[in-house]
C-alpha cells in the first residue's frame, strides 16, 4: 500500500517501495510503501511485533529486504554512507564510564563532526534538553532521564538529514517529553526528514504530520490524523453537565454506549446524523456547560484497529 501517493516525486528524501521481510515462514513486513519528505514528521504506530523496528532496521541497512527497495534521494540505501542518519534505538546504550562530553564527542565524530564543533554546539543542546550535570560528569552518575537526554543529543547534535527515533518517549515524564518534542521540531525546521514510533497516541497526534499504522507487518491506516479520524465519522459526543442521567443518556435512540461519571460523559453513536436530535434532547432548549460532537480519538481508533481489522 502506498501511503503517500500524492507526494511522489524527486524531492522525497526517504522512499520505501513494496518492502517485504521474512524470518523463516514469518512475514515481519509485508509490501510496505511509504515516503518521508524534507521537513516532514512521520509517526509509525502499531502493537509490539507489528513490524516497526524491522522497518527501521531495513531503512538503516541493518537488515536487507527480501523484496522491494529502500532509497534515499533516489539511491539504494545499501550503496551509500549512512553518516547523515541520526538513530535512537529502542534499546538504549551508552558508555557509562565516559563523561557527557566524551560520549557526545564520540558519536559526533562518527558522523563527521570535529571535537571542536561538538564542544561548540554542546552547550546549546544541553540547555535545550535541560540536562542536569557538568560536561565532565560520568554517564553512569546521571539520572536515568538525563542519560536518555544525553543519548538523544548524541543522535541529533550533528543535525542529521534523516532522523529515526524508535520509541523516543519511552520512560519520559510529560515535561521531558515536551522537551524532546521541541528538539524534534528544531530538527524539522532545519529540513530533516523524521520518522518515529510511539505507543503514546498523544505524542503521535501532536507531533506527526502524517502517520502509518502497521498490523502484522502490513499498512492498515495511513494519512494525517485528521484524515484518519474523519474516516470514522463524528460518532462521539462529549457532554458536560447534561440534564439527563447516565442511564437516561444510554436509552436515547442511536446511543451505543455511555462512558464517564459526575458531570462529564461521552456517548458513542451508531450514526453521526443522530447528533442533532440528541442535542435537542439533552439541552431541552436551555443552556448546558458543554456539547461537542467529534470523531473517535486516535487512541480509540488504534485500539479498535489493532483488535479488529474490520472495526
- Read off the pTM: 0.83
Residues 113 and 173 in one domain: yes
248: domain CATH number is: 3.30.70
Q: Which of 47, 49, 152, 51 is nearest to 92 (CA)?
A: 152
Residues 162 and 224 in one domain: yes
Q: Which of 36, 159, 155, 158 is nearest to 90 (CA)?
A: 155
Residues 100 and 175 in one domain: yes
Average pLDDT taken over every residue of the chain: 89
Domain span including residue 279 = 234-294
Residues 212 and 273 in one domain: no
Per-residue pLDDT tens over the stretch 247-279: 999 999 999 999 988 899 999 999 999 999 999
Residues 147 and 250 in one domain: no
Q: pLDDT higher for 9 or 172?
A: 172
Q: Dihedral sign for Cα 76, 79, 83, 86, please.
A: positive
Residues 153 and 42 in one domain: yes
Per the structure, the count of domains in the chain is: 2
In a domain, 303, yes or no: no
Residues 158 and 189 in one domain: yes
| All three cell numbers of 12 | 522525497
Residues 102 and 242 in one domain: no
Residues 269 and 121 in one domain: no
Residue 12's pLDDT band, with cuts at 50, 70 and 90, is: low
Residues 105 and 180 in one domain: yes
Is it the case that residue 4 has pLDDT exceeding 80? Answer: no
Contact call for residues 57 and 21 (beta carbons, < 8 A): no
Give residue for cell 515516503: 35
Residues 154 and 281 in one domain: no
Give residue for cell 506527526: 208
Q: How far is CA 36 from CA 115, 196, 206, 217, 219, in A?
A: 31, 11, 18, 19, 15
Residues 221 and 258 in one domain: no
Is it the case that residue 193 has pLDDT exceeding 90? Answer: yes
Amino acid at each position: 500500500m502506498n501511503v503517500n501517493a500524492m507526494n511522489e516525486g524527486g524531492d522525497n528524501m526517504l522512499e520505501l517501495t513494496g518492502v517485504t521481510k521474512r524470518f523463516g515462514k514469518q512475514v515481519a513486513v509485508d509490501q510496505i510503501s511509504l515516503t518521508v519528505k524534507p521537513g516532514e514528521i512521520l509517526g509509525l504506530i502499531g502493537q509490539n511485533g507489528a513490524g516497526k523496528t524491522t522497518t527501521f532496521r531495513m531503512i538503516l541497512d541493518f537488515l536487507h529486504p527480501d523484496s522491494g527497495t529502500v532509497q534515499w534521494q533516489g539511491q539504494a540505501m545499501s550503496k551509500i554512507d549512512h553518516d547523515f542518519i541520526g538513530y535512537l534505538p529502542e534499546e538504549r546504550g551508552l558508555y557509562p564510564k565516559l563523561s557527557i562530553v566524551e560520549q557526545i564527542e564520540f558519536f559526533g565524530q562518527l558522523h563527521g563532526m570535529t571535537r571542536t564543533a561538538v564542544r561548540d554546539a554542546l552547550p546549546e543542546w544541553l540547555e535545550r534538553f535541560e540536562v542536569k550535570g557538568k560536561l565532565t560528569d560520568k554517564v553512569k552518575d546521571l539520572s536515568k532521564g538525563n542519560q536518555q537526554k544525553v543519548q538523544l543529543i548524541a543522535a541529533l547534535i550533528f543535525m542529521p538529514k534523516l532522523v529515526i527515533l524508535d520509541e523516543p518517549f519511552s520512560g519520559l515524564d510529560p515535561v521531558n517529553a515536551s522537551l524532546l518534542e521541541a528538539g524534534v521540531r528544531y530538527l524539522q525546521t532545519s529540513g530533516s526528514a523524521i520518522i518515529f514510533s510511539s505507543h503514546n497516541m498523544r505524542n503521535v497526534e501532536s507531533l506527526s504530520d502524517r502517520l502509518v499504522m502497521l498490523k502484522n507487518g502490513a499498512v492498515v491506516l495511513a494519512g494525517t490524523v485528521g484524515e484518519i479520524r474523519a474516516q470514522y465519522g463524528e460518532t462521539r459526543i462529549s457532554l458536560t453537565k447534561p440534564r439527563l442521567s447516565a442511564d437516561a443518556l444510554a436509552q436515547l435512540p442511536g446511543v451505543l454506549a455511555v462512558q464517564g461519571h459526575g458531570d462529564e460523559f461521552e456517548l458513542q453513536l451508531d450514526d453521526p446524523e443522530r447528533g442533532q436530535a440528541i442535542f435537542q434532547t439533552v439541552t431541552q432548549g436551555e443552556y448546558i456547560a458543554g456539547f461537542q460532537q467529534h470523531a473517535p480519538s486516535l487512541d480509540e481508533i488504534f485500539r479498535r484497529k489493532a483488535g479488529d481489522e474490520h472495526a
